[in-house]
């Protein structure tokens, strides 16, 4: 794994956009898996600008969503569906047939997870994952304690995930489960780009870099990923021991 520290959120986001566009440039039919959340917002906005500027064609790639809040319909502005369409898929003019996002309204959770597993397996694994990090170390909705051999599954969300998750919604929501690509599939991705910015993520970055790499803080497993890149801004790196102090 490689750690990269950037002076600020803008530079961090620009570098992440470069990586996304670079992935599709070198493998036009790549399978990309994207997280939602505040962290990657700007990176996604910059991706379509950069793709256009550098003439990189996204029409042969396939995109999957990393996770979704169970029971939240796609038209809800707080859903991962809405977010990905708004910040990434629409600006990049991605065709519906190039996308699979979890159906959080499904009556058959098992079937929904199987669908995602077959898309990933059919491609021979994921080429590129962009993930954020929850304050409890979750990776997608792989909450602390998730086994490393986990495929797509429905997870019971921790209290902190539910409380913080409320920030994405305009109204009060009562969500208790999340559906997510599994830890095994994320860890087997060729590239795992994990991003964090801001002072509130500083303890999380410290724990990832200086604590034990374990399922009790799933994001820390990036340390065992050969293609792992942890990109943070100065604020998120502010609690690290030298040389980043
Ligand atoms: C949410 C998402 C995750 C995301 C994380 C961090 O729970 N489901 O995929 O990585 O929170 O979000 P943020 O970037 O808003 O801090």
Q: Is the pLDDT of residue 245 over 60?
A: no
Q: Is the pLDDT of residue 244 over 60?
A: no
169: closest CA among 80, 77, 95, 83?
Answer: 77
209: closest CA among 245, 160, 159?
Answer: 245
Ligand 1, residues at Cβ distance < 6 Å: 35-39, 66-67, 131-134, 140-141, 161, 165
Q: How many angstroms does the Cα of residue 185 sit away from the middle of ligand 1? A: 18
Q: Give the tens place of pLDDT for each residue, 113-159.
A: 999 999 999 999 999 999 999 999 999 999 999 999 999 999 999 99
Q: Give the tens place of pLDDT for each residue, 146-199.
A: 999 999 999 999 999 999 999 999 999 999 999 999 999 999 999 999 999 999
Pocket test for ligand 1, best of 12, 37, 76, 196 (most atoms within 8 A of CB): 37
Q: How far is CA 195 from the centre of its chain?
A: 8
């Amino acid at each position: 794994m490689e750690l990269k520290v950037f002076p600020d959120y803008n530079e961090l986001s620009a570098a992440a956009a470069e990586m996304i566009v670079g992935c599709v440039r070198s493998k036009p039919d790549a399978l990309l898996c994207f997280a939602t959340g505040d962290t990657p917002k700007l990176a996604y906005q910059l991706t379509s600008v950069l793709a256009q500027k550098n003439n990189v064609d996204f029409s042969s790639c396939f995109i999957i969503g990393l996770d979704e809040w169970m029971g939240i319909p796609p038209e809800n502005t707080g859903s991962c569906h809405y977010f990905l369409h708004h910040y990434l898929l629409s600006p990049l003019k991605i065709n519906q047939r190039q996308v699979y996002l979890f159906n959080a309204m499904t009556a058959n959770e098992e079937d929904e997870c199987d669908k995602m597993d077959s898309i990933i397996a059919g491609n021979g694994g994921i080429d590129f994952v962009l993930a954020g990090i929850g304050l409890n170390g979750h990776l997608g909705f792989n909450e602390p304690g998730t086994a490393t051999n986990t495929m797509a599954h429905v997870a019971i969300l921790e209290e902190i995930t539910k409380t913080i998750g409320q920030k994405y919604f305009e109204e009060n929501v009562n969500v208790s489960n999340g559906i997510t690509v599994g830890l095994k599939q994320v860890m087997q991705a060729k590239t795992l780009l994990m991003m964090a910015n801001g002072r509130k993520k500083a303890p999380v970055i410290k724990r990832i870099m200086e604590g034990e790499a374990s399922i009790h803080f799933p994001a820390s497993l990036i340390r065992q990923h050969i293609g792992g890149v942890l990109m943070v801004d100065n604020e998120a790196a502010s609690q690290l021991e030298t040389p980043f102090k």
